[in-house]
Amino acid sequence: MKKFFITILTIMTVMFSATSNAATTDNICKDAEIWTKIIDQICWSCFTEGFSLMGVGKKPDGASDNNPFCMCNDNIGVPYAGTKLSYFAPMRLIETVKLPWCTPTLGGITLQDDFVGMGTVKAKKGSGFWHSHYFAFPLMEMLEILYIDCHQDGYIDLDLMYLSEVDPTWNNDLLALLLSPEAILFATPLAQPWCASDCALISADSAPESTFGCAGCDGHLYPFTGNIKGQTDNVAQTSLIAQRMISSLHRKGLSKKTMGDANVCEAHVAPFTPRSQYKFSMVYPRAEADAQTDTGSCCHPMGQSTNLWCLPVGGRMRPGFEDAVYMLWQFKECCLTLGSGD
């Protein structure tokens, strides 16, 4: 009898161990190895795509006019004249993860043991759920490559700015609706053709400001939560979550508009996302700068079809590597003069 109980106990121990190992394998937090990619797998050409000095150069939709000169007030209110400068700068990292508190950017660590279930959400059938983390990543200042006094936000190093796990609106569509009541309008059938045309425009390398309530080819921008429905492409899901994170931060007043005539002298809060202000470049699981895409660029407008920037180079839709890290390039316009403030 004693041998029987020992045998049963041994079998149960082995079964529990196997189950535990399987769960650990499924929920492993992987390292994005950001610091090993910082030179050769960063889309440096994105900096030149929007570079303009004195009104000469290509600008995205919603940028200021081509007048080469500008007039602003310095920090003590004294007017000064200057010349316009605009460019895309690497400013942020956005990671999208399935496992709460997992951060590939910080080496694949889990920020806390989730004993109380904070940040854990049980996805409904036919849907998925993602968390997102937002990092300051002023790469040019960090590497001391270039410092331009243009809409500086005080960040000079990698810094964790936002965690969706501590945001109660991120996992509740109804709570998110309180912050974005216009979501009701974009959920109607009348808005669907509008957003379908938005996908076509963005895929043609245009990011119109007029369709601010759409997410291009990625899916539905609203609500600003981690819940995904109707989108089966894993890469498009991560891109959509990154878009929602940016839109959520703009709605909360935590991100500013740094382009356009009204923002040349000083950046202002913009409750609606200025989409042409941003470009994405995937750095994990495979860097977009690692191979040439059909568009000839290694950064792309938010919501552009994955058929243009993902599938042609392959390797990004990899089983076991569902999480993603995107570098966010931000378009800045400022009035530049020697001895002036921002």
Q: With contact defined as beta carbons under 8 Å apart, do 323 and 95 qualify?
A: yes
Q: With contact defined as beta carbons under 8 Å apart, do 257 and 153 qualify?
A: no
Residue 74 has pLDDT above 90, yes or no: no
**Average pLDDT, whole number, for the chain?**
82
Of 40, 48, 35, 242, nearest to 142 by C-alpha is 35
- Give the per-residue pLDDT at 250: 96
Please report, rounded to a whole number, the percentage of residues in the chain having pLDDT higher than 90. Answer: 47
Report the pLDDT averaged over residues 317-325.
81
Residue 103 has pLDDT above 90, yes or no: yes
Phi and psi torsions of 128, nearest 5°: -140, 165
Report the pLDDT averaged over residues 324-334.
95
Q: With contact defined as beta carbons under 8 Å apart, do 334 and 80 qualify?
A: no
- Give the per-residue pLDDT at 273: 93
**Residue 325 β-bridge partners:** 95, 284
144 versus 255: which is more confidently predicted? 255
115 versus 61: which is more confidently predicted? 61
Three-state DSSP state, 8: helix
- Give the per-residue pLDDT at 120: 58
Global pTM value: 0.85
Residue 99: alpha-carbon gap to chain centroid: 17
**pLDDT tier for residue 175 given thresholds of 50, 70 and 90:** very high
The burial of 253, by beta-carbon neighbours within 10 Å (0-12 exposed, 13-18 middle, 19 or more buried), is given as exposed
Residue 182: alpha-carbon gap to chain centroid: 22
**pLDDT tier for residue 109 given thresholds of 50, 70 and 90:** very high
Residue 124: alpha-carbon gap to chain centroid: 24
Please report, rounded to a whole number, the percentage of residues in the chain having pLDDT higher than 70. Answer: 82
- Give the per-residue pLDDT at 249: 96
Report the pLDDT averaged over residues 294-314.
77
The helix/strand count (H/E) of the chain reads as: 8, 14
- Give the per-residue pLDDT at 24: 40
Phi and psi torsions of 39, nearest 5°: -105, -60
Residue 199 has pLDDT above 80, yes or no: yes
- Give the per-residue pLDDT at 22: 36
Report the pLDDT averaged over residues 178-186.
88
In the numeric block, the tokens 């500013």 are attached to 256
- Give the per-residue pLDDT at 222: 92
Residue 21 has pLDDT above 50, yes or no: no
- Give the per-residue pLDDT at 13: 37
Report the pLDDT averaged over residues 67-85.
89
d(CA 187, CA 166): 27
- Give the per-residue pLDDT at 33: 92
Lowest mean pLDDT among 101-105, 259-263, 292-296: 292-296
- Give the per-residue pLDDT at 316: 60
